[in-house]
Structure 1
Amino acid sequence: MKKTTLAAFLILMAAAVNAQSYIGYHSDNYNGVHGLLYNPANIADSRFKTDINLIGASAIIGNDYYGAKLEDIFEEDFSFDDDGLKSPKNSNNAYGNADILGPSFMFNVSPRSSLAVFTRARVFFNANDINGETYENISDEFDENVDFNVNEGDYELSSHAWAETGITFATVLLNKDQHFIKGGLTLKYLMGYGNAYSSGKNITIDYDADGSGTTGSIESTGEISYGNSSNITNDFENYEFEKSADGFGADLGFVYEWRPNYADYTTTDADGNTYAPKDINKYKLKFGLSLTDLGSLNYKNGSEEAYDITNSINQDDFENEEGFEDKLNNLYTQIRSGNSAKAVLPTALHFNADWNINNHFYANLNTDLSLTSKSKTNTNSIANIVSLTPRFESKWFSFYSPISYIENIGVQWGAGLRAGPLYIGSGSIITVLTSDESKGADVYAGLKIPIYQNRPKDKDGDGVMDKVDACPDVVGPAENNGCPWPDTDGDQVLDKDDNCPEEAGVIENKGCPWEDTDKDSILDKDDNCPEEAGAVENNGCPWPDTDGDGVLDKEDECVEIVGTVANNGCPEVTIEVQKTLNEYAKTILFNFGKSTIQTASTNVLVDIISILNEYPNAKFTVEGHTDSIGSVPANQKLSEERALAVKNFLIKKGIDPERLTSIGYGESKPIATNMYKDGRAQNRRVEINLVK
């Protein structure tokens, strides 16, 4: 019994492949139309005016069952069974993807929106929950005298080939300061070119070498079902390339960009419209979220058969049946027959985060998660994957080196580049070249015609792009829309800083001439009272009259005391005041025969001081007088000393000494007769008289 016969019977995998395309390249901001394959929002605000893909292909092989060194595989004596490392387990899995991007293009339909049209051919293969011991127990020409047992259990296997023609529209949804969001939608017309699938439940196979006679016997249990499109016939050996099904699919995606330095590249034209150059990446962090491959195809003319394979048969009977279908129909029990199941696309969720380290170096984190059930009949699914991709990126060249963890395969390390129209790479090349037990290999390559966004022109070199420069041929600041600031009045103060742009002025007065608001011939800049006419000698202010006596302070000798014009603004000592003053003075008492003032006279002197303070500029003479008792010289001396004692008392109490003089007249100026006691008392006196 040959291995191929049993392999067909079990519908086991011959190889397993990873299900992702263009690993590493999809993180490049210059991937152009390829960007829509992972997230349709990518084509909005693109670094391309137009990107035309001529042809691109991606193919990946790998598995979690078998690993080998790459160079050994190409040696003549390499043996699959004897060389390499096998890792059989109860649930080995396989994923397959060949992806061809045909003629496709994208272009900008407005400053905010982009459109793409693409063609694509795809082949997917999935084998889930295959028992690795199955292959271990089957060899090409196995020993018919050795028993073996296969406990396959449940499995799911599907393969699907289809083509897509799609249209993608993406637009900017939000562009506000440092926040930027764009969204995109892809609608796809699907053309099915082939579909085959199989599933098994509780399958076991027990081969007994002795059997019941000279040949072995095969005892099996479980249920097998298989289906295929109408263009696959004759035990899956014949295939006609023709469209066998139609359907529709969709992709949906959003991208958020955080642009903390938006003000550095955003300019505003004279109409208030903002503009940012299209040829540079403006984000510090970018996050993408998308759903891809929503949809299915219904092969209406396809068929599905199901068999109960619980039976014990002779080995010769098994090998005498010609084909796979003959074995099932003649040796086992058919339990149902009908139309094939709908082929479900490999729906997936993609999350992407990109960090702009500086203008050319980036780090990208990408996660692809399958949203389809691996246990559902005729359903394709991608392999779950997490990739970290550092890259160097520029307009004409990019290099990236993705490190990925892929479900059921493990860690893969690759490298790729883009050089103008060429892109080529592999998500596993470094792992393949360095590992002795590589379980996968992939490669992609393609050609395109990139038409990049131009660097905005700035003919006058003033840093303001011609697109928003109101004076593209003359150097000017951005604040004035690229035009030089005018100086209309020619006073060397630019109009933007000139408070009087049409009247020549001086720099110190912000371009305005100095004014004389109060018309007092003193300019406001020098006028301490610019709104009130005044004198030059008083810095443009009017002379004040603090006490309101009609005598200006500059001429008023008593600025804060009301006086008369005749007395230079000071109050005049009237006859009544003089009389009152002397009435007080005459009551000043001295000790007998001495010049010392009696304490009883203190209150009188205080009253005198109060009167003198009311006339701060008046000068007085303190005069001393005596009676005629005693000698003339003695009386003269005593009068002088008493006058001086009063003067000193007044000075001590705060009267300005410049205002006081003292003089003694002795007995020479009596005001009454000295013959009587009463007259002599009147003659012993002090008078305080105004100096005129």
Structure 2
Amino acid sequence: MGFLTDNYSGVHSVINNPANIVDSRFKTDINLVGVSAFAANDYYAVNFNDIFDDNYDIEDDAKKFPKEKNNILGNIDILGPSFMFNINEKSSIAISTRARTFYNISEINGRTFENVTNDFNENQDFAINEGDLFSSVHAWAELGVSYARVIMNKEQHFLKGGATIKYLQGLGNAYSAGKNVNLNYDADGSLLPSGDRVGSVQTTGEVSYGYSSNLEDDIDEFEMINSANGIGLDLGFVYEWRPDYEEYTSTDSKGNSYMPKDINKYKFKFGISLTDLGSINYKDGKEERYDITNTLNENTFNDIEIDELEKFYTVLPSAETNTAILPTALHINADWNINQKFYVNLNGDLSLTAKNKINRSRIANVVSLTPRFESKWFSFYSPLSMVQHSGFQWGAGLRAGPFYVGSGSVLSALIGSEMKAADVYVGLKVPVYQSKPKDKDEDGVLDKVDECPDVKGPEENFGCPWPDTDGDTILDKDDNCPEEAGEVDNGGCPWPDTDGDTILDKDDNCPDVAGPIDNGGCPWPDTDGDSVLDKDDNCPDIAGTVANNGCPEVTEEIQKTLNNYAKTILFDLGKSSIKKESNQALGDIINILNEYPTAKFTVEGHTDSAGSNTLNQRLSDSRANSVKNYLVENGVDKFRLSAIGYGEDRPIATNKTKAGRAQNRRVEINLVIE
């Protein structure tokens, strides 16, 4: 108990489940020798400390619990030279040698056992209804060959199965059974020829016993029976749930995955197995059967030897061949990995051989809960178990490299006063553990999948450093142009010049159309389509002439039109205020001026010669500014206009006639030529 739940039990793990040896923590494991002994009963209970007393007698001093159906069973198991090793990652084999002995006494009436061992109480009548009882002892050796294989390894789910086929060599077998056995003791029942009166024993029912041929004579003359052999079989499966499988998985550039072999990968493990399917045929075995219906005096009954039963009882037909059934059992195991060092195991061992049938060995049904500390070189476990016929047991065990020792009952024996079961195991082995995966360059990528095991590199590049083929300081993994030197800002590619205008696309506002540097790589526009580019066009939104820097030119005809309108501007007599009837002419003037937004004009005021020169000068200035102000107030840029009065100095007609003077009283709007 305990040791077989350890993931480092190695070749021993085939004992309960042959599937355990594959995906093992061992490269190979060699057992030199191991001994295990187990005994359980519900009749005797002893105090552990008392058994070391030289005067202690189990018959007299042990506490007894006689019942109608008491049971005793036990076994001794010697595991001889055995080994397991891995064929490859998916397959393992093991070869094991064992010598085993099982003994069972089933459903014996405790009072029968008590009276037979202590002789009869001569002063008291009693009757025992024994009913059916069975006992057996069987020893054999076996050579087992185990094979286990990984059946499924799919991400979180891992399944393996295994089988052991065993050649069985019988070493000896004996059994007995009773059917409807009854015993009545009459203390005054028989009168001897001497005149003395002794008790009488009346028995009814059938009894039988059998034995292998090598037990027919003195046990000291034991011989191997060549004809006693058989075949045994163990079958098992183990499922592992591996929710963190990605943490354990490494993959090389070819997609081959690898998991380290030196650690457990599961969070939960469940195993189920059938062991000891089979039997041994003792071809030369003997069986004796008797009808024991008879009444004998007490002295005669006590002196009967087993080979003298035919003198007192009726011999019944018996068989010449005996088949000894192995202790077939079902094992269910669940193991929870708390972390990589601590585990909790729940295990159940259930006998599948009936205890009320002839010549069958069986195990005790056991359920155990085992907390465990586990590492490569050392493990410690403390199983808490419920053992059939014996109740609660608490034990401890350890494995230290090649040495293992333990007991499933040692602690409960030390602290309890009624020990009904005991077991112990001890052994020596040669473990060869799976080595820790190597990482020579310490880059976190195992050498097994590292394509550059001597140089550090990231896992994404399978342990190799990322190259920079074009030497542009951008690693190929991030370089969109790994074979052509480029710029960091452009993902490792050189910036293109799509339109060939010598301006790189990253700086070119018009990367698909050639343009000058001064305009950010875009061609200069000519918004008004006058063939003067906007950059040189003083009137980019109005078509003009090249000679006038892209602005429309004021022609003589336009100039004439302006002045024709200007001549119609009327003022109040002797004043500079403009009459309302001049608004239409002024509006036309404004429209013309807006067509030439960059042209500058002078508003000139003129008078006739009537009046003083000073008065005429003042009046012409005032009227010129009055027109200018009107034009500015109605949207003409004031910086385009200037106003000046010339008085009577620039007549265009004679002042001697009325018609001439009327022509001289005028306003002109003239283009300023720069």
- TM-score, reference length from structure 1: 0.80
The equivalent of 1:323 in structure 2 is: 305
Q: C-alpha distance in 2, partners of 1:591/1:122?
A: 146
Q: How do 1:97-176 and structure 2 match up within 5 A?
A: 97-176=75-154
Q: How do 1:16-95 and structure 2 match up within 5 A?
A: 23-95=1-73
Q: Is the 8 A contact 2:143 2:168 kept in 1?
A: yes
> Which residue, 248, 269, 275 being the options, matches 2:258?
275
1:454 Cα offset (Å): 2.7
Aligned partner of residue 211 in structure 1, secondary structure = strand
Aligned partner of residue 298 in structure 1, secondary structure = strand
- Cα distance change of structure 1 residues 181 and 316 upon mapping to structure 2, 3 Å threshold: closer
Q: Is the 8 A contact 2:603 2:624 kept in 1?
A: no
Q: C-alpha distance in 1, partners of 2:583/2:204?
A: 142
List per-residue Cα deviations over 1:103-160 (Å, max 9, x = no partner).
1111121232111111122222333333334334555233212122323333343333
Q: Which deviates further from its counterpart, 47-56 or 289-298?
A: 289-298
The equivalent of 1:314 in structure 2 is: 296
Q: How do 1:161-310 and structure 2 match up within 5 A?
A: 161-211=139-189, 213=191, 214-233=197-216, 240-309=223-292
Q: Is the 8 A contact 1:635 1:667 kept in 2?
A: no
Q: How do 1:157-556 and structure 2 match up within 5 A?
A: 157-211=135-189, 213=191, 214-233=197-216, 240-309=223-292, 311=293, 313-316=295-298, 318-319=300-301, 322-324=304-306, 326-327=308-309, 329-333=310-314, 336-338=317-319, 342-505=323-486, 507=488, 509-546=490-527, 550-556=531-537
Q: Do residues 643 (structure 1) and 621 (structure 2) align? A: no
List per-residue Cα deviations over 1:282-324 (Å, max 9, x = no partner).
3333332222222233334445555554x45132485277323
The equivalent of 2:194 in structure 1 is: none
Number of equivalences: 665
- Cα distance change of structure 1 residues 568 and 228 upon mapping to structure 2, 3 Å threshold: farther
Q: C-alpha distance in 1, partners of 2:353/2:496?
A: 84
The one-letter amino acid of 1:113's match is S
Q: Which deviates further from its counterpart, 561-570 or 353-362?
A: 561-570
Q: Is the 8 A contact 1:347 1:372 kept in 2?
A: yes
Q: Which deviates further from its counterpart, 236-245 or 341-350?
A: 236-245
Q: Is the 8 A contact 2:201 2:298 kept in 1?
A: no
List per-residue Cα deviations over 1:450-476 (Å, max 9, x = no partner).
222233444444444444444444444
Q: C-alpha distance in 1, partners of 2:246/2:253?
A: 17
Q: Which deviates further from its counterpart, 336-345 or 681-690?
A: 681-690
The one-letter amino acid of 1:99's match is D
Q: Is the 8 A contact 2:18 2:148 kept in 1?
A: yes
1:585 Cα offset (Å): 9.7
1:25 Cα offset (Å): 1.1
Q: Is the 8 A contact 1:259 1:282 kept in 2?
A: yes
Identity of aligned residues (%): 62
Q: Is the 8 A contact 1:596 1:645 kept in 2?
A: no
List per-residue Cα deviations over 1:477-531 (Å, max 9, x = no partner).
4444444444444444444444444445555555555554444333444444444
Q: Is the 8 A contact 1:194 1:244 kept in 2?
A: no
Q: Is the 8 A contact 2:190 2:297 kept in 1?
A: no
List per-residue Cα deviations over 1:630-685 (Å, max 9, x = no partner).
9979986885686366435524xxx66556667899999999999xxxx9999999
Q: C-alpha distance in 2, partners of 1:673/1:646?
A: 30
List per-residue Cα deviations over 1:575-621 (Å, max 9, x = no partner).
99999999999999999999999999999999998887776656677
1:569 Cα offset (Å): 4.6
Q: Which deviates further from its counterpart, 682-691 or 84-93?
A: 682-691
Q: Which runs of 5 or more structure 1 residues have no equivalent in the other structure?
A: 1-22
* Larger of the two Rg values belongs to structure: 2
Q: C-alpha distance in 2, partners of 1:152/1:672?
A: 168
Q: C-alpha distance in 1, partners of 2:447/2:274?
A: 40
The one-letter amino acid of 1:319's match is F
Q: Is the 8 A contact 1:137 1:148 kept in 2?
A: no
- Cα distance change of structure 1 residues 557 and 319 upon mapping to structure 2, 3 Å threshold: same
1:350 Cα offset (Å): 2.1
Q: C-alpha distance in 2, partners of 1:563/1:201?
A: 135
Q: Is the 8 A contact 1:402 1:413 kept in 2?
A: yes
The one-letter amino acid of 1:539's match is G
1:63 Cα offset (Å): 1.8
Q: C-alpha distance in 2, partners of 1:356/1:98?
A: 31
1:532 Cα offset (Å): 3.8
Q: C-alpha distance in 1, partners of 2:256/2:440?
A: 21
Q: Is the 8 A contact 1:161 1:193 kept in 2?
A: yes
Q: Is the 8 A contact 1:288 1:351 kept in 2?
A: yes
Q: C-alpha distance in 2, partners of 1:271/1:573?
A: 83
Aligned partner of residue 290 in structure 1, secondary structure = strand
Aligned partner of residue 215 in structure 1, secondary structure = strand
Q: C-alpha distance in 2, partners of 1:32/1:263?
A: 26
Q: C-alpha distance in 1, partners of 2:311/2:529?
A: 137
Q: C-alpha distance in 2, partners of 1:497/1:197?
A: 81
The equivalent of 1:18 in structure 2 is: none
Q: Is the 8 A contact 1:627 1:681 kept in 2?
A: yes
Q: C-alpha distance in 2, partners of 1:350/1:603?
A: 118
Q: C-alpha distance in 2, partners of 1:350/1:231?
A: 33
List per-residue Cα deviations over 1:329-369 (Å, max 9, x = no partner).
45445565335564332222222233333333333222223
The one-letter amino acid of 2:419's match is S
Q: C-alpha distance in 1, partners of 2:83/2:270?
A: 24
Q: Which runs of 5 or more structure 2 residues have no equivalent in the other structure?
A: 192-196
Q: C-alpha distance in 2, partners of 1:609/1:384?
A: 119
Q: C-alpha distance in 2, partners of 1:590/1:133?
A: 156
Q: C-alpha distance in 2, partners of 1:203/1:603?
A: 149
Q: C-alpha distance in 2, partners of 1:286/1:84?
A: 42
- TM-score, reference length from structure 2: 0.81
Q: Which deviates further from its counterpart, 103-112 or 175-184?
A: 175-184
- Cα distance change of structure 1 residues 604 and 481 upon mapping to structure 2, 3 Å threshold: same
Q: C-alpha distance in 2, partners of 1:612/1:379?
A: 130
Q: Which deviates further from its counterpart, 266-275 or 406-415?
A: 266-275
Q: Is the 8 A contact 2:624 2:667 kept in 1?
A: no
